[in-house]
Amino acid sequence: MSAPQDGRQLRALDLALIGNCRIAALLDGRGRIVWWCFPRFDGDPVFSRLLAGSEEKGFCDVVIADAAGAHADYVRNTAILETVLEDQHGGRLRITDFAPRFRQFDRMFRPPVLIRRITPLAGVPRITIRVRPTQGYGRPCEVASMGSNHIRYIGAGQVLRLSTDAPLSYITEEVSFTLTQPLTLVLGPDEPFQAALSATARAFEEQTLDYWQRWTRSLAVPFEWQGAVTRAAMALKLCSFEETGAIVAAHTTSIPEAPGSGRNWDYRFCWLRDAHFVVQALNRLGTTETMEAYINFITTVAGDHTAPLRPVHGIVPGCSLEETIAPDLAGFLGEGPVRVGNAAVWQNQHDVYGSVILATTQMFVDERLPRMGDAALFRQLENLGEQAVRIALTPDAGIWEYRGRQRIHTHSAALCWAACDRLARIATLLGIADRAAYWRRQATDLRATILQRSWNEQRGALMGSLDDGELDASVLLLADLGLLEPSDPRFVRTCETIGRELGRGTRIMRYTAQDDFGTPETAFLVCNFWYIDALVSIGRRDEAREMFEGLLERRNAFGLLSEDIHPQTGALWGNLPQTYSMAAIIESAARLSRPWEDAWRHG
């Protein structure tokens, strides 16, 4: 990685996330909206500056003349962002950005709308409001028409409407003017704004603030690292498409895993593999509504037993995920290509069967849920279990979605074992003795084979694939899954070997062998959290704690983590915010934190 790329990248992903579980946008530290897919998570980015390379298109910002500084932060315990801009003459203004979300008429009000409130704070600042939306993944929109208080931008069969009390001609001509009173911008569908703009925006802000602060108070956070856990939980919430319950892996596409790697993927979809991690994290915090909706989503997409279970789905099941290249976007820092859709949908990834069953197991044991799992749901899951038994010891693309090779991946086989193990436990809970015995036999046979064929005495570790010699950090999950005890010498030695051979400084690589795109350069962040959790389980708690706090320091300026981190430079790479990484913060913090009662007792 060259020095110029380092310099640009270290702060390039300092982006804040706002949203309302229907839409989401990313803003930089100067209050510029650089990414917003409209009218939902997987839509066309009307603000696409994040992936526009050096082109000045696809954004909405407020430029203060003679700029002297900027500071942005969330309103505490909310998804409302405040940015303060200062000029060289003592002028200051505040930009407040949010997507409305609150209960109204006994329903959740979450329109596909962004609201910007611009408030003068001191002096006489001069500003330029620039609105340059794109359509069709990177082609500039045209101003279709101007009304008395709105501008319509049109493209690709879709209209974006800006309703505002700012002078329209100042916006379309990008003229600098004096800010003497608060201004409001509402961006959303082509629908007339029927109420008083400024008063309504203020009311929406107050109700949205109240919603998020109430939601935060409901979280069962650990005593330590409360702010980090709360922000991680809110990021997971904002990655939830509430209408269907789907949770996207991230809100972006094609931020590369490493410079010049071509490892650019579209993550605006729902991976079933994430089900177990997300449900586990949310359950830790006692936030059941998002968890329930997610379980409903995965049981919906897993209900068709006539076809193989696809690893990734659109946020609306059945939507096409055909992978194409967007030619009008140069890519993040010019690092193309920009991909739309994800060809992983056609891969065989055998761990998905276990992932669904692991997540759905919650319905049989969590008495807080309004509808518990029953015999009918168990029979549906048994169909998935039978498929897991059939394919457990056959090659697949694996958890890392290799595009050019097939192997019998240990993690995939272990998830198939977990499917059988959990079905045995569910049958026992339901009192179905014969099925409990059947699934216990399947689990016992699979476990013996996996452990025998994955252990490599010469390497002193469980390998990433059966009958293979390559290390893979995904085996760090085997003890947490229950395939073997953390105290098992094989697991302890595996942790030691991975730390020694996959470690790069204070970071852990997911693997170091060449893959479809060459030798990996960056460390997959969630593997670092898996290593932390494994260290805790084998008694190396102090080491785990130090590593955890070091990772928290690598979060961006707004408390978010992407997918990857460069071991030498500390620069974040990959799509943002990465669901895996944010869920892992919650999980590791819960394992490491002192209990509330001990913290108060001992100080």
474: pLDDT strictly greater than 50: yes
Average pLDDT, the chain: 94
Instruction: For residues 235 and 137, state if they share a domain.
Output: no
Residue 97's pLDDT band, with cuts at 50, 70 and 90, is very high
Q: Name the residue type at position 19.
A: G
Structure tokens at 438: 């059947």
What whole-number percentage of the chain has pLDDT above 70? 97
Residue 9's pLDDT band, with cuts at 50, 70 and 90, is low
Instruction: For residues 230 and 151, state if they share a domain.
Output: no
Domain of 382 in residue numbering reads as 220-239+272-311+347-602
The confidence score (pLDDT) of residue 603 equals 54
Instruction: For residues 175 and 50, state if they share a domain.
Output: yes
**What are the Cα distances from residue 102, in Å, to 105, 177, 291?**
10, 34, 19
For residue 265, give every residue at least 6 positions away whose Cβ sits within 8 Å of its Cβ, in sequence order, or none.
253, 254, 339, 342, 344, 575
421: pLDDT strictly greater than 50: yes
The confidence score (pLDDT) of residue 304 equals 67
Instruction: For residues 502 and 574, state if they share a domain.
Output: yes
For residue 410, give every residue at least 6 positions away whose Cβ sits within 8 Å of its Cβ, in sequence order, or none.
450, 454, 462, 463, 464, 465, 466, 472, 474, 475, 478
CATH number (domain holding residue 475): 1.50.10.10
- Largest interatomic CA distance in the chain: 80
Cis peptide upstream of residue 327 (ω within 30 degrees of 0): no
Instruction: For residues 394 and 524, state if they share a domain.
Output: yes
- Is 337 part of a structural domain of the chain? no
Instruction: For residues 235 and 154, state if they share a domain.
Output: no
- Is 206 part of a structural domain of the chain? no
- Is 77 part of a structural domain of the chain? yes
Structure tokens at 377: 């749901």
Selection from 451, 439, 379 nearest residue 413 by Cα: 451
Task: Pick the range with the lowest mean pLDDT from 136-140, 273-277, 396-400, 472-476.
Answer: 273-277
The confidence score (pLDDT) of residue 2 equals 33
- Is 299 part of a structural domain of the chain? yes
Instruction: For residues 523 and 586, state if they share a domain.
Output: yes
Residue recorded with tokens 């339901």: 430
C-alpha span between 135 and 184 (Å, rounded): 24
The confidence score (pLDDT) of residue 237 equals 95
pTM of the model: 0.96
- Is 164 part of a structural domain of the chain? yes
Q: What is the mean pLDDT of residues 360-367?
A: 92
pLDDT tens column, 139-187: 999 888 899 999 999 976 789 999 999 999 999 999 999 999 999 999 9
Instruction: For residues 99 and 233, state if they share a domain.
Output: no
- Is 251 part of a structural domain of the chain? no
- Is 422 part of a structural domain of the chain? yes
Task: Give the HSE-up count for residue 261: Cα atoms under 13 Å, Cβ half-sphere.
Answer: 24
Instruction: For residues 507 and 590, state if they share a domain.
Output: yes
Residue recorded with tokens 């949908």: 345
For residue 148, give every residue at least 6 positions away whose Cβ sits within 8 Å of its Cβ, in sequence order, or none.
none
Instruction: For residues 465 and 521, state if they share a domain.
Output: yes
Domain count, the chain: 2
Selection from 462, 472, 548 nearest residue 509 by Cα: 472
Residue 275's pLDDT band, with cuts at 50, 70 and 90, is confident
Sign of CA dihedral 491, 494, 499, 502: negative
Instruction: For residues 465 and 411, state if they share a domain.
Output: yes
Neighbours of 485 (CB within 10 A): 12
The confidence score (pLDDT) of residue 179 equals 98
C-alpha span between 312 and 301 (Å, rounded): 10
544: pLDDT strictly greater than 70: yes
51: pLDDT strictly greater than 90: yes
**Residue 212 backbone zone (phi > 0: left; psi -120 to 50: alpha; other: beta):** alpha
- Is 249 part of a structural domain of the chain? no
Instruction: For residues 224 and 153, state if they share a domain.
Output: no
**Residue 331 backbone zone (phi > 0: left; psi -120 to 50: alpha; other: beta):** left
Structure tokens at 547: 């590593």
Q: What is the mean pLDDT of residues 241-259?
A: 96
For residue 51, give every residue at least 6 positions away whose Cβ sits within 8 Å of its Cβ, in sequence order, or none.
35, 45, 58, 138, 253, 254, 255, 326, 329, 330, 331, 332, 338
